[in-house]
Structure 1
Amino acid sequence: MAPLTDKTALVTGASRGIGRGIAERLGRDGALVAVHYGTQETAAKETVAAIRESGGRAFPVRAELGVDGDVAALYAAFDAGLEAQGAQPGLDILVNNAAASGSGPIDAVEPAVFDRLVAINVKAPLFLVQEGLKRLRDGGRVINISSAVTRHAFPESVAYAMTKGALDTMTLALAKGLGSRGITVNSVAPGFVATDMNARRRATPEARAALAAHSVFNRIGEPSDIADVVAFLASDDARWITGQYLDVSGGTGL
Structure 2
Amino acid sequence: MSLSPVILVTGASRGLGRGISEELARTGHSVAIHYASNRAAADETLAACRAVATSPLQQFVLVQGDVSKADDRRAIFDGTIAAFGRIDGLINNAGIAPRVRADLLDVTEESYREVNGINLDGPFFLSQLAAKWWLAHPGESRLPGGYKLIFISSLSAYAISVNRGEYCVSKAGLAMTTQLFAARLAEHGIQVLELRPGIMATDMTAGVKDKYDKMLADGLVPQKRWGTGADVGMAVRAIFQGLFPFTTGDVINIDGGFHLRRL
Task: Calculate the TM-score normalised by the size of structure 1.
Answer: 0.90
Deviation at 1:240? 1.2
Which secondary structure state, in structure 1, belongs to the residue aligned with residue 164 of structure 2? helix
5+ residue gaps, structure 1 = 83-88
CA–CA distance in structure 2, aligned partners of residues 142 and 124 of structure 1: 14
Structure-2 change in CA distance of 1:145 and 1:207 (3 Å) = closer
Which amino acid in structure 2 is aligned with residue 41 of structure 1?
R
CA–CA distance in structure 2, aligned partners of residues 115 and 47 of structure 1: 29
CA–CA distance in structure 1, aligned partners of residues 39 and 32 of structure 2: 13
CA–CA distance in structure 2, aligned partners of residues 179 and 188 of structure 1: 18
Q: 1:200 aligns with which of 200, 203, 207?
A: 207
CA–CA distance in structure 2, aligned partners of residues 227 and 240 of structure 1: 21
Deviation at 1:176? 1.0
Q: Deviations over 1:1-38 (max 9, x none)?
A: xxxx8211000000000000001101111111110000
Q: 2:87 aligns with which of 73, 91, 113?
A: 91
Residue correspondence of structure 1 range 40-119 to structure 2 within 5 A: 40-56=38-54, 57-82=59-84, 89-102=85-98, 103-119=101-117
Contact 1:190 1:248 in 2 (8 A): yes
Q: Equivalent residue for 1:86?
A: none
Residue correspondence of structure 1 range 231-246 to structure 2 within 5 A: 231-246=237-252
CA–CA distance in structure 1, aligned partners of residues 153 and 231 of structure 2: 14
How many residues are matched? 242
Deviation at 1:104? 3.1
Q: Does 1:228 align with 2:234?
A: yes
Deviation at 1:236? 1.3
Contact 1:95 1:143 in 2 (8 A): yes
Which amino acid in structure 1 is aligned with residue 69 of structure 2?
V
Moved more, 158-167 or 68-77: 68-77
CA–CA distance in structure 1, aligned partners of residues 185 and 259 of structure 2: 32
Which secondary structure state, in structure 2, belongs to the residue aligned with residue 149 of structure 1? helix
Q: Deviations over 1:70-101 (max 9, x none)?
A: 2112123222322xxxxxx2211100000111
Deviation at 1:68? 4.3
CA–CA distance in structure 2, aligned partners of residues 19 and 207 of structure 1: 22
Which secondary structure state, in structure 1, belongs to the residue aligned with residue 171 of structure 2? helix
CA–CA distance in structure 1, aligned partners of residues 23 and 72 of structure 2: 26
* Fraction of identical pairs, as percent: 31
